[in-house]
Amino acid sequence: MSPSELKFSLLTDGGPMVWVLLLMAAAGAVMLAERTFYLHRAQIRTTAFLAGLKNILAKRRIVEALTVCEETPGPAAAVVKVALLHAHDDEVTMRYAVQEAALVELPSLERRLGAIAALAQAAPLVGLLGTVLGMATTFHAFSQGSAQYQTVQQLSHGMWQALLATAASLAVAIPAHLSHQFLQARVRSIVRDVEWSANEIMRYLLTEYRQAPAAADPAPEGTPDGGPPP
């Protein structure tokens, strides 16, 4: 028997619940791939990002800083952009605007994590149902079997179905649970970056940015000191 025929035989011998578990595994793999790619793009090097913004803001180029925020993916850049839009407002107004922006951005990080957690919890129950169906097949063979050989054959088939359903459920539940924990750790890391970025940019705008002297207008051509021409 070739490996492909063996795999198909395991699927057919495992009963209908194995096919359900196979669909659950495929759905979980798709959600894991999508969330991993999304969170990878959402997490940026916030220290380098803010250092670059501070260099731009030190030259009083706030429009250029806003453009950098728009071109940078992730919730940290979006929250920092809101802070820059309120750079000349009072502290309370700026803080409320930043908090509102964070409330809008952060829920998108946790999207589909609940579905992956539910899949990890439901897979063992689906496997348990497959196990029960396999055992039911076994006891039905006992009650209906007339020949000893036929009864033993049906007994082995039911037990095999029960074991395959249990193994398939664990094979789905364990990776799903680990994937959920991995994604949650990534989300917590991004949330910490967002909080730090928001606090750091607000501190900079309220202190160093406002205390720095405004850039002087360039003197007219031919008058280096800006005074009237001779």
Per-residue pLDDT tens digits for 98-136: 999 999 888 888 889 999 999 999 999 999 988 888 777
pLDDT of residue 185: 94
pLDDT tens figures, 24-57: 999 999 999 999 999 998 888 989 999 999 999 8
Selected residue with higher pLDDT from 219 and 56: 56
Q: In the structure, how many helices (H) and strands (E) does the chain have?
A: 9, 0
Question: How buried is 51 (Cβ within 10 angstroms: 0-12 exposed, 13-18 middle, 19+ buried)?
Answer: exposed
Q: Maximum CA pair distance of the chain?
A: 123
- 158: Cβ contacts below 8 Å, ≥ 6 apart: 134, 135, 136, 137, 138, 139, 140, 141
How far lies 195's CA from each of 53, 57, 79, 95, 156, in Å? Answer: 17, 20, 9, 12, 59
pLDDT of residue 171: 93
| Predicted TM-score of the model (pTM) | 0.76
Question: pLDDT band for position 214 (50/70/90)?
Answer: low
- 129: Cβ contacts below 8 Å, ≥ 6 apart: 17, 165
pLDDT of residue 226: 46
Question: pLDDT band for position 157 (50/70/90)?
Answer: confident
Cα 178 from Cα 116, distance rounded (Å): 10
Residue 17 clears pLDDT 60, i.e. is over it: yes
